[in-house]
């Protein structure tokens, strides 16, 4: 399956993020510039070798919403329309990730239980790691059972920053785990 998508860069406090959208303005992929090889592999896996990325001349709605998120308007990312490819299980995990409130965290085991697959902890971890649109599908909000920071495709320093950013700007009633360790 081939496709043509649009790409653009967004400077964030934790590095330049590449954003890939389709003709309908739906987010297809995002990752940090220094993780570009990983994003390219995921795009080719899902959309084929003849995938074309055309730069956008002006900022997309997705970029503007992500800018608002990085400026502290955490709820803004809920408005981003997405379209991803993956297995039914992966899409189920990714949908569940979007229900974790900003400023909150869950363990892999809790996420597995939420989707009705309490013994699929490792599979949930693998699906989390295959997420093509971090931040919007907030895989950074998943932590180890002992509340430790574990894997994040963008690196643990970015995960730590994202969680701290969300804690700082989240609605005060959102519960979150204050004791995170590496």
Q: Catalytic positions, please?
A: 139
Residues 90 and 129: their CA atoms lie apart, in Å, by 10
- Please, is 125 exposed, middle or buried when counting C-beta atoms within 10 Å of its C-beta (0-12, 13-18, 19+)? buried
Residues 135 and 14: their CA atoms lie apart, in Å, by 12
DSSP 93-104: HHHHHTTSPTT-
Strand partners, 29: 20
What kind and span of H or E run contains 47?
Answer: helix 36-47
End-to-end CA distance of the chain: 40
Take residue 163 and report the two structure tokens written for it: 């969680």
């Amino acid at each position: 399956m081939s496709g043509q998508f649009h790409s653009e860069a967004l400077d964030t406090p934790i590095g330049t993020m590449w954003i890939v959208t389709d003709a309908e303005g739906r987010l297809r992929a995002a990752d940090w510039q220094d993780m570009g090889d990983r994003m390219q592999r995921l795009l080719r896996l899902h959309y084929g070798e003849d995938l074309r990325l055309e730069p956008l001349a002006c900022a997309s709605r997705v970029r503007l919403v992500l800018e608002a998120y990085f400026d502290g308007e955490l709820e803004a990312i809920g408005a981003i329309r997405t379209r991803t490819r993956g297995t039914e299980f992966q899409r189920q995990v990714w949908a569940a990730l979007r229900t974790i409130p900003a400023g909150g965290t869950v363990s892999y085991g809790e996420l597995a239980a939420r989707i009705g697959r309490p013994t699929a902890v490792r599979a949930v971890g693998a699906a989390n790691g295959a997420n093509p649109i971090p931040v919007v599908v907030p895989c950074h909000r998943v932590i180890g059972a002992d509340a430790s920071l574990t894997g994040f495709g963008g690196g643990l320093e970015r995960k730590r920053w994202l969680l701290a950013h969300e804690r700082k700007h989240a609605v005060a009633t959102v519960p979150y785990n204050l004791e995170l360790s590496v």
